[in-house]
């Protein structure tokens, strides 16, 4: 299965997919990385792994023009599953329609709690005792698509945004390749807005 990854930053979630493929844990091909920040380290990670890395600039252009450029790249690489791995742009209905039920995202909170870009801060301010990460299918709403898998971590009394984020990130690196493996194996289906994971 050909995967296309969209990312904006350091690329540690992207690296977890690369590592899973290289170790044989994940039987899939990372066909292309698209990144939208020119200085993002994720581009270097892709180059080191021998994966095509395409920079698509979102600045100074309409959102749909930006997304059409990304769709063209993904289609050129025969991408079957789009993985958002720290991609900091909201996708429009146009993009989602092009890859309906074939886009997954990882979010550093236990959705539906704490959607958006400041989930660790929001969790700490609310005083929750557990947090974690969620992998979900992407729909037209922000961080609101059908949930596939979640992983929990404790929230400690002395946590900062950084320490909580680091603890969650370790779980992200485990669960994201697992979800891709489940998808590639045809084990995920959406029924009534909920994701069912079938046995082998």
Residues 6+ apart with CB under 8 A from 192: none
Q: How far apart are CA 5 and CA 2, in angstroms?
A: 10
Active-site residue, from 107, 118, 136, 173: 107
Q: How far apart are CA 53 and CA 62, in angstroms?
A: 22
Which tokens hold the place of 184?
Answer: 């590639």
Over 166-183, what HEC string results? Answer: HHHHHHHHHHHHHHHHHH
Q: Residue 20, exposed/middle/buried by CB under 10 A (0-12, 13-18, 19+)?
A: buried
The SS3 of residue 80 is coil
DSSP for residue 86 = S
Q: How far apart are CA 35 and CA 56, in angstroms?
A: 6
Residue 118 is among the residues annotated as catalytic for this protein: no
- The per-residue b/e assignment along 183-193, b for 16 or more CB within 10 angstroms, e otherwise, is bbeeebeeeee
Q: How far apart are CA 29 and CA 21, in angstroms?
A: 7
Task: Tell me the chain's radius of gyration from C-alpha atoms.
Answer: 16
Residues that are catalytic:
107
């Amino acid at each position: 299965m050909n995967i296309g990854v969209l990312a904006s930053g350091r690329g540690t979630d992207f690296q977890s997919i690369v590592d899973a493929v290289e170790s044989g844990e994940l039987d899939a091909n990372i066909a292309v990385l698209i990144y939208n920040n020119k200085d993002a380290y994720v581009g270097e990670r892709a180059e080191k792994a021998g994966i095509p890395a395409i920079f698509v600039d979102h600045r100074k252009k309409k959102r749909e023009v930006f997304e059409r450029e990304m769709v063209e790249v993904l289609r050129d690489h025969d991408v079957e599953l789009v993985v958002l791995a720290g991609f900091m742009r909201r996708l429009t209905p146009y993009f989602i329609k092009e890859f309906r039920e074939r886009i997954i995202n990882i979010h550093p909170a236990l959705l539906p709690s704490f959607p958006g870009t400041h989930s660790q801060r929001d969790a700490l301010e609310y005083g929750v005792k557990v947090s974690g990460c969620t992998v979900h299918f992407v729909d037209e709403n922000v961080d609101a698509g059908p949930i596939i898998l979640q992983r929990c971590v404790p929230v400690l009394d002395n946590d900062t945004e950084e320490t909580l984020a680091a603890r969650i990130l370790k779980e992200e690196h485990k669960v994201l390749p697992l979800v891709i493996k489940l998808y590639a194996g045809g084990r995920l289906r959406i029924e009534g807005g909920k994701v069912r994971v079938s046995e082998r």
